[in-house]
Structure 1
Amino acid sequence: MNPRLDDTRHRARWPGYAAAVWGFVFAVPSFYWAMGGTAGVESTISPQLVELARRQDPGMLAVLWVTGVLKVVGGMLGLALARRRPWGPGMNRLLQLMAWGAGVLLAWHGAQFIVQGLLVQAGLVEIPPAALPILRWYTYLWGPWFVAGGVAFMLAARAHLRTVADRRYPQMAGVAGGLGALVLSVVALMAGIG
Protein backbone atom coordinates (compact mmCIF):
# COMPACT_ATOMS: atom_id res chain seq x y z
CA MET A 1 0.00 0.00 0.00
CA ASN A 2 1.12 3.56 -0.71
CA PRO A 3 2.53 5.01 2.58
CA ARG A 4 1.28 8.52 1.77
CA LEU A 5 -2.28 7.26 1.22
CA ASP A 6 -2.11 5.23 4.44
CA ASP A 7 -0.85 8.31 6.33
CA THR A 8 -3.71 10.41 4.89
CA ARG A 9 -6.25 7.80 5.95
CA HIS A 10 -4.74 7.68 9.45
CA ARG A 11 -4.89 11.47 9.84
CA ALA A 12 -8.44 11.47 8.50
CA ARG A 13 -9.62 9.24 11.34
CA TRP A 14 -9.52 11.75 14.21
CA PRO A 15 -12.82 13.52 13.30
CA GLY A 16 -14.63 10.16 13.38
CA TYR A 17 -13.17 9.43 16.80
CA ALA A 18 -14.15 12.92 17.98
CA ALA A 19 -17.74 12.33 16.80
CA ALA A 20 -17.76 8.93 18.52
CA VAL A 21 -16.55 10.37 21.83
CA TRP A 22 -19.10 13.18 21.54
CA GLY A 23 -21.95 10.68 21.04
CA PHE A 24 -20.90 8.29 23.81
CA VAL A 25 -20.22 11.07 26.34
CA PHE A 26 -23.51 12.81 25.53
CA ALA A 27 -25.43 9.55 26.05
CA VAL A 28 -24.37 9.33 29.71
CA PRO A 29 -26.68 12.08 31.08
CA SER A 30 -29.66 10.68 29.14
CA PHE A 31 -29.20 7.20 30.62
CA TYR A 32 -28.41 8.61 34.07
CA TRP A 33 -31.59 10.72 34.11
CA ALA A 34 -33.64 7.84 32.63
CA MET A 35 -32.54 5.63 35.53
CA GLY A 36 -33.76 8.18 38.07
CA GLY A 37 -30.65 10.28 38.62
CA THR A 38 -31.33 13.94 39.26
CA ALA A 39 -27.91 15.58 39.53
CA GLY A 40 -27.65 18.41 37.04
CA VAL A 41 -31.31 18.26 36.07
CA GLU A 42 -32.57 21.35 37.89
CA SER A 43 -29.83 23.70 36.80
CA THR A 44 -29.33 22.63 33.20
CA ILE A 45 -32.73 21.84 31.69
CA SER A 46 -36.12 23.55 31.58
CA PRO A 47 -38.38 23.43 34.67
CA GLN A 48 -41.12 21.60 32.76
CA LEU A 49 -38.72 18.79 31.89
CA VAL A 50 -37.37 18.73 35.45
CA GLU A 51 -40.87 18.17 36.80
CA LEU A 52 -41.49 15.33 34.33
CA ALA A 53 -38.17 13.73 35.26
CA ARG A 54 -38.91 14.06 38.99
CA ARG A 55 -42.30 12.39 38.57
CA GLN A 56 -40.68 9.64 36.49
CA ASP A 57 -43.22 10.37 33.76
CA PRO A 58 -43.29 7.35 31.41
CA GLY A 59 -43.24 9.56 28.31
CA MET A 60 -40.24 11.49 29.60
CA LEU A 61 -38.44 8.28 30.53
CA ALA A 62 -39.08 6.90 27.04
CA VAL A 63 -37.68 10.10 25.49
CA LEU A 64 -34.58 9.88 27.69
CA TRP A 65 -33.96 6.22 26.80
CA VAL A 66 -34.53 6.82 23.09
CA THR A 67 -32.27 9.87 23.01
CA GLY A 68 -29.61 7.93 24.92
CA VAL A 69 -29.76 5.12 22.37
CA LEU A 70 -29.64 7.60 19.48
CA LYS A 71 -26.53 9.20 20.98
CA VAL A 72 -24.89 5.76 21.23
CA VAL A 73 -25.82 5.17 17.58
CA GLY A 74 -24.15 8.52 16.84
CA GLY A 75 -21.03 7.29 18.63
CA MET A 76 -21.07 4.13 16.54
CA LEU A 77 -21.52 6.25 13.40
CA GLY A 78 -18.39 8.17 14.36
CA LEU A 79 -16.47 4.91 14.72
CA ALA A 80 -17.78 3.69 11.35
CA LEU A 81 -16.58 6.93 9.73
CA ALA A 82 -13.13 6.47 11.30
CA ARG A 83 -12.70 2.94 9.96
CA ARG A 84 -9.33 2.43 8.29
CA ARG A 85 -10.59 0.40 5.32
CA PRO A 86 -13.31 1.87 3.09
CA TRP A 87 -16.77 0.37 3.27
CA GLY A 88 -18.76 -0.81 0.26
CA PRO A 89 -20.61 1.68 -1.97
CA GLY A 90 -24.01 1.31 -0.26
CA MET A 91 -22.56 1.71 3.22
CA ASN A 92 -20.52 4.75 2.14
CA ARG A 93 -23.72 6.43 0.92
CA LEU A 94 -25.55 5.58 4.15
CA LEU A 95 -22.68 6.88 6.30
CA GLN A 96 -22.56 10.16 4.37
CA LEU A 97 -26.35 10.58 4.58
CA MET A 98 -26.39 9.95 8.33
CA ALA A 99 -23.26 11.95 9.17
CA TRP A 100 -24.26 15.06 7.25
CA GLY A 101 -27.83 14.78 8.52
CA ALA A 102 -26.65 14.50 12.13
CA GLY A 103 -24.03 17.21 11.68
CA VAL A 104 -26.38 19.79 10.23
CA LEU A 105 -29.15 18.95 12.70
CA LEU A 106 -26.84 19.24 15.72
CA ALA A 107 -25.09 22.41 14.55
CA TRP A 108 -28.42 24.09 13.72
CA HIS A 109 -29.94 23.09 17.07
CA GLY A 110 -26.94 24.36 19.01
CA ALA A 111 -26.84 27.60 17.05
CA GLN A 112 -30.49 28.19 17.92
CA PHE A 113 -29.68 27.88 21.64
CA ILE A 114 -26.74 30.27 21.35
CA VAL A 115 -28.54 32.89 19.24
CA GLN A 116 -31.64 32.85 21.43
CA GLY A 117 -29.53 33.23 24.56
CA LEU A 118 -27.52 36.10 23.12
CA LEU A 119 -30.69 37.86 21.96
CA VAL A 120 -32.14 37.60 25.46
CA GLN A 121 -28.92 38.88 27.03
CA ALA A 122 -28.87 41.79 24.58
CA GLY A 123 -32.41 42.70 25.66
CA LEU A 124 -33.90 42.05 22.23
CA VAL A 125 -36.04 39.11 23.41
CA GLU A 126 -37.75 38.76 26.77
CA ILE A 127 -38.25 35.59 28.77
CA PRO A 128 -39.54 35.01 32.32
CA PRO A 129 -36.85 35.92 34.89
CA ALA A 130 -37.01 32.42 36.41
CA ALA A 131 -35.78 31.00 33.10
CA LEU A 132 -32.62 33.15 32.95
CA PRO A 133 -30.28 30.75 34.83
CA ILE A 134 -31.35 27.87 32.60
CA LEU A 135 -30.98 30.05 29.52
CA ARG A 136 -27.32 30.59 30.41
CA TRP A 137 -26.76 26.82 30.48
CA TYR A 138 -28.36 26.52 27.04
CA THR A 139 -26.37 29.46 25.69
CA TYR A 140 -22.96 28.54 27.08
CA LEU A 141 -23.07 24.75 27.57
CA TRP A 142 -25.73 22.96 25.55
CA GLY A 143 -25.58 25.21 22.49
CA PRO A 144 -21.80 24.99 22.05
CA TRP A 145 -21.92 21.25 22.87
CA PHE A 146 -24.46 20.63 20.09
CA VAL A 147 -22.47 22.79 17.65
CA ALA A 148 -19.27 20.92 18.52
CA GLY A 149 -21.01 17.60 17.87
CA GLY A 150 -22.37 18.87 14.57
CA VAL A 151 -18.96 20.08 13.46
CA ALA A 152 -17.38 16.76 14.51
CA PHE A 153 -19.86 14.78 12.41
CA MET A 154 -19.44 17.04 9.38
CA LEU A 155 -15.64 16.87 9.60
CA ALA A 156 -15.85 13.09 10.03
CA ALA A 157 -18.08 12.82 6.95
CA ARG A 158 -15.69 14.96 4.95
CA ALA A 159 -12.67 12.93 6.08
CA HIS A 160 -14.48 9.67 5.33
CA LEU A 161 -15.39 10.88 1.85
CA ARG A 162 -11.68 11.37 1.07
CA THR A 163 -11.12 7.63 1.61
CA VAL A 164 -13.86 6.62 -0.87
CA ALA A 165 -12.77 5.77 -4.40
CA ASP A 166 -16.03 6.75 -6.18
CA ARG A 167 -17.27 9.85 -4.34
CA ARG A 168 -20.13 10.88 -6.59
CA TYR A 169 -23.01 8.93 -5.00
CA PRO A 170 -21.83 9.19 -1.39
CA GLN A 171 -21.44 12.94 -1.94
CA MET A 172 -25.02 13.17 -3.23
CA ALA A 173 -26.21 11.18 -0.21
CA GLY A 174 -24.39 13.59 2.10
CA VAL A 175 -26.02 16.60 0.42
CA ALA A 176 -29.42 14.91 0.77
CA GLY A 177 -28.77 14.21 4.45
CA GLY A 178 -27.63 17.74 5.20
CA LEU A 179 -30.45 19.42 3.27
CA GLY A 180 -33.01 17.03 4.72
CA ALA A 181 -31.87 17.84 8.25
CA LEU A 182 -31.95 21.56 7.52
CA VAL A 183 -35.48 21.39 6.08
CA LEU A 184 -36.66 19.27 9.02
CA SER A 185 -35.12 21.77 11.47
CA VAL A 186 -36.69 24.80 9.78
CA VAL A 187 -40.12 23.11 9.64
CA ALA A 188 -39.83 22.16 13.35
CA LEU A 189 -38.82 25.73 14.23
CA MET A 190 -41.77 27.16 12.29
CA ALA A 191 -44.10 24.68 14.03
CA GLY A 192 -42.74 25.74 17.42
CA ILE A 193 -41.06 22.42 18.14
CA GLY A 194 -37.55 22.38 19.57
Structure 2
Amino acid sequence: MLFAVPSFVWATGNSFGARSTVSPSLVKLAHDGVPWFVAVLVVTGFLKLFGALVGIVLTRPRSPRIRRLAVFCGAGAATLLTWHGGLFVVQGVLVKAGFASVEPELAGLTGWYLYLWGPWFVIGGLAFAGATALRVRDSDDRRELRRYGAVGVLGALGLSLGAMVTGMG
Protein backbone atom coordinates (compact mmCIF):
# COMPACT_ATOMS: atom_id res chain seq x y z
CA MET A 1 0.00 0.00 0.00
CA LEU A 2 2.91 2.32 0.72
CA PHE A 3 4.10 1.79 -2.85
CA ALA A 4 0.97 3.68 -4.01
CA VAL A 5 1.78 6.83 -2.02
CA PRO A 6 4.38 8.29 -4.45
CA SER A 7 1.96 7.97 -7.37
CA PHE A 8 -0.68 10.01 -5.55
CA VAL A 9 1.88 12.53 -4.24
CA TRP A 10 3.35 13.03 -7.72
CA ALA A 11 -0.16 13.40 -9.19
CA THR A 12 -0.54 16.54 -7.05
CA GLY A 13 2.47 18.09 -8.78
CA ASN A 14 4.76 17.50 -5.81
CA SER A 15 8.04 15.96 -6.91
CA PHE A 16 9.16 14.73 -3.49
CA GLY A 17 11.51 11.79 -4.00
CA ALA A 18 11.21 11.94 -7.78
CA ARG A 19 13.75 14.54 -8.87
CA SER A 20 16.79 12.33 -8.31
CA THR A 21 15.20 8.93 -8.92
CA VAL A 22 12.83 9.31 -11.89
CA SER A 23 13.29 10.50 -15.46
CA PRO A 24 13.28 14.33 -15.65
CA SER A 25 10.71 14.28 -18.45
CA LEU A 26 8.28 12.39 -16.20
CA VAL A 27 8.95 14.73 -13.28
CA LYS A 28 8.20 17.70 -15.56
CA LEU A 29 4.92 16.17 -16.73
CA ALA A 30 3.83 15.68 -13.12
CA HIS A 31 5.06 19.10 -11.99
CA ASP A 32 3.27 20.82 -14.90
CA GLY A 33 0.06 18.94 -14.09
CA VAL A 34 -0.35 17.56 -17.62
CA PRO A 35 -3.87 16.08 -17.39
CA TRP A 36 -3.24 12.78 -19.15
CA PHE A 37 -0.11 12.15 -17.07
CA VAL A 38 -1.84 13.07 -13.81
CA ALA A 39 -4.55 10.56 -14.79
CA VAL A 40 -1.86 7.93 -15.43
CA LEU A 41 -0.38 8.59 -11.98
CA VAL A 42 -3.77 8.36 -10.26
CA VAL A 43 -4.70 5.16 -12.11
CA THR A 44 -1.26 3.74 -11.28
CA GLY A 45 -1.81 4.57 -7.60
CA PHE A 46 -5.17 2.80 -7.60
CA LEU A 47 -3.68 -0.20 -9.42
CA LYS A 48 -1.03 -0.42 -6.70
CA LEU A 49 -3.77 -0.36 -4.04
CA PHE A 50 -5.65 -3.03 -5.99
CA GLY A 51 -2.43 -5.06 -6.09
CA ALA A 52 -2.23 -4.88 -2.30
CA LEU A 53 -5.81 -6.16 -2.11
CA VAL A 54 -4.99 -9.01 -4.51
CA GLY A 55 -1.97 -9.91 -2.37
CA ILE A 56 -4.15 -10.05 0.74
CA VAL A 57 -6.84 -12.13 -1.01
CA LEU A 58 -4.20 -14.59 -2.24
CA THR A 59 -3.26 -15.36 1.36
CA ARG A 60 -6.77 -16.10 2.62
CA PRO A 61 -9.31 -18.78 1.71
CA ARG A 62 -12.18 -17.37 -0.32
CA SER A 63 -14.98 -18.53 -2.57
CA PRO A 64 -13.98 -20.32 -5.79
CA ARG A 65 -14.92 -17.25 -7.84
CA ILE A 66 -12.72 -14.94 -5.76
CA ARG A 67 -9.86 -17.49 -5.87
CA ARG A 68 -10.01 -17.59 -9.67
CA LEU A 69 -9.96 -13.80 -9.92
CA ALA A 70 -7.10 -13.57 -7.40
CA VAL A 71 -5.02 -16.18 -9.29
CA PHE A 72 -5.70 -14.42 -12.61
CA CYS A 73 -4.64 -11.03 -11.17
CA GLY A 74 -1.76 -12.46 -9.15
CA ALA A 75 -0.24 -14.24 -12.14
CA GLY A 76 -0.66 -11.12 -14.26
CA ALA A 77 0.92 -8.92 -11.59
CA ALA A 78 3.80 -11.37 -11.15
CA THR A 79 4.47 -11.28 -14.88
CA LEU A 80 4.25 -7.51 -15.29
CA LEU A 81 6.31 -6.66 -12.23
CA THR A 82 9.05 -9.21 -12.91
CA TRP A 83 9.25 -8.28 -16.59
CA HIS A 84 9.28 -4.53 -15.88
CA GLY A 85 11.92 -4.81 -13.15
CA GLY A 86 13.98 -7.23 -15.20
CA LEU A 87 14.11 -4.75 -18.06
CA PHE A 88 15.37 -2.05 -15.68
CA VAL A 89 18.07 -4.38 -14.34
CA VAL A 90 19.20 -5.62 -17.76
CA GLN A 91 19.34 -2.10 -19.18
CA GLY A 92 21.23 -0.88 -16.11
CA VAL A 93 23.78 -3.69 -16.39
CA LEU A 94 24.26 -2.99 -20.11
CA VAL A 95 24.76 0.73 -19.46
CA LYS A 96 27.14 0.19 -16.53
CA ALA A 97 29.14 -2.34 -18.60
CA GLY A 98 29.37 0.10 -21.51
CA PHE A 99 27.34 -1.99 -23.97
CA ALA A 100 24.50 0.54 -24.12
CA SER A 101 24.10 4.23 -23.53
CA VAL A 102 21.37 6.53 -22.32
CA GLU A 103 20.73 10.21 -22.88
CA PRO A 104 23.02 12.39 -20.74
CA GLU A 105 20.17 13.67 -18.54
CA LEU A 106 19.27 10.07 -17.69
CA ALA A 107 22.80 8.84 -16.95
CA GLY A 108 22.55 9.73 -13.27
CA LEU A 109 19.38 7.68 -12.95
CA THR A 110 20.89 4.43 -14.18
CA GLY A 111 21.96 3.39 -10.68
CA TRP A 112 18.51 4.09 -9.25
CA TYR A 113 16.87 1.88 -11.87
CA LEU A 114 19.55 -0.82 -11.61
CA TYR A 115 19.85 -1.01 -7.83
CA LEU A 116 16.46 0.19 -6.53
CA TRP A 117 13.56 0.29 -8.95
CA GLY A 118 14.44 -2.82 -10.97
CA PRO A 119 15.08 -5.13 -8.01
CA TRP A 120 12.07 -3.69 -6.17
CA PHE A 121 9.76 -4.58 -9.08
CA VAL A 122 11.37 -8.03 -9.46
CA ILE A 123 10.96 -8.76 -5.74
CA GLY A 124 7.33 -7.66 -5.92
CA GLY A 125 6.77 -9.86 -8.97
CA LEU A 126 8.35 -12.85 -7.27
CA ALA A 127 6.23 -12.24 -4.17
CA PHE A 128 3.08 -12.28 -6.31
CA ALA A 129 4.33 -15.41 -8.11
CA GLY A 130 4.95 -17.16 -4.79
CA ALA A 131 1.59 -16.15 -3.30
CA THR A 132 -0.20 -17.20 -6.49
CA ALA A 133 1.61 -20.55 -6.61
CA LEU A 134 0.71 -21.23 -2.97
CA ARG A 135 -2.93 -20.34 -3.61
CA VAL A 136 -3.03 -22.78 -6.54
CA ARG A 137 -1.15 -25.51 -4.66
CA ASP A 138 -3.43 -25.34 -1.65
CA SER A 139 -6.65 -25.52 -3.68
CA ASP A 140 -8.76 -28.48 -4.72
CA ASP A 141 -9.34 -26.94 -8.15
CA ARG A 142 -5.67 -26.68 -9.18
CA ARG A 143 -6.20 -27.43 -12.86
CA GLU A 144 -8.79 -24.69 -13.28
CA LEU A 145 -6.72 -22.21 -11.29
CA ARG A 146 -3.67 -22.95 -13.45
CA ARG A 147 -5.73 -22.02 -16.51
CA TYR A 148 -6.74 -18.72 -14.89
CA GLY A 149 -3.10 -18.08 -14.00
CA ALA A 150 -2.01 -18.80 -17.58
CA VAL A 151 -4.62 -16.38 -18.93
CA GLY A 152 -3.37 -13.77 -16.44
CA VAL A 153 0.21 -14.25 -17.66
CA LEU A 154 -0.81 -14.01 -21.32
CA GLY A 155 -2.93 -10.94 -20.60
CA ALA A 156 -0.01 -9.25 -18.84
CA LEU A 157 2.33 -10.04 -21.72
CA GLY A 158 -0.29 -8.69 -24.15
CA LEU A 159 -0.53 -5.45 -22.16
CA SER A 160 3.23 -5.12 -22.12
CA LEU A 161 3.50 -5.74 -25.84
CA GLY A 162 0.70 -3.23 -26.50
CA ALA A 163 2.47 -0.63 -24.38
CA MET A 164 5.72 -1.19 -26.25
CA VAL A 165 4.06 -1.03 -29.69
CA THR A 166 2.26 2.21 -28.84
CA GLY A 167 5.41 3.74 -27.34
CA MET A 168 3.98 3.91 -23.83
CA GLY A 169 6.36 1.35 -22.33
State the TM bucket, normalised to the shorter chain: over 0.9
Deviations along 1:164-191, whole A, 9 cap, x unmatched? Answer: 1121111111011113322432453355
- Larger Rg over CA atoms: 1
Pairwise CA distance, 1:123? 0.9
Deviations along 1:54-93, whole A, 9 cap, x unmatched? Answer: 112222211111100000000000111111xx32222222
4+ residue stretches of structure 1 with deviation over 3 A? 186-193
CA distance in 2, matches of 1:174, 1:70: 18
The normalised TM-score by structure 2 is 0.92
CA contact (8 A) 1:93 1:171 kept: no
Matched, 1:44 2:21: yes
3-state SS in 2 of match to 1:108? helix
**2:7 paired residue number:** 30
CA distance in 1, matches of 2:163, 2:21: 22
Q: How many residues align?
A: 169
**2:58 paired residue number:** 81
CA distance in 2, matches of 1:79, 1:111: 24
The normalised TM-score by structure 1 is 0.81
Q: What are the within-5 Å matches in structure 2 for residues 144-183 of structure 1?
A: 144-183=119-158
Pairwise CA distance, 1:128? 2.0
Match for 2:153: what amino acid? G
RMSD: 1.5
Match for 1:91: what amino acid? I
Tell me which of the two structures has the higher relative contact order, counting C-alpha pairs closer than 8 angstroms and 6 or more residues apart. Answer: 1
Q: What are the within-5 Å matches in structure 2 for residues 13-28 of structure 1?
A: 24-28=1-5
CA contact (8 A) 2:89 2:119 kept: yes
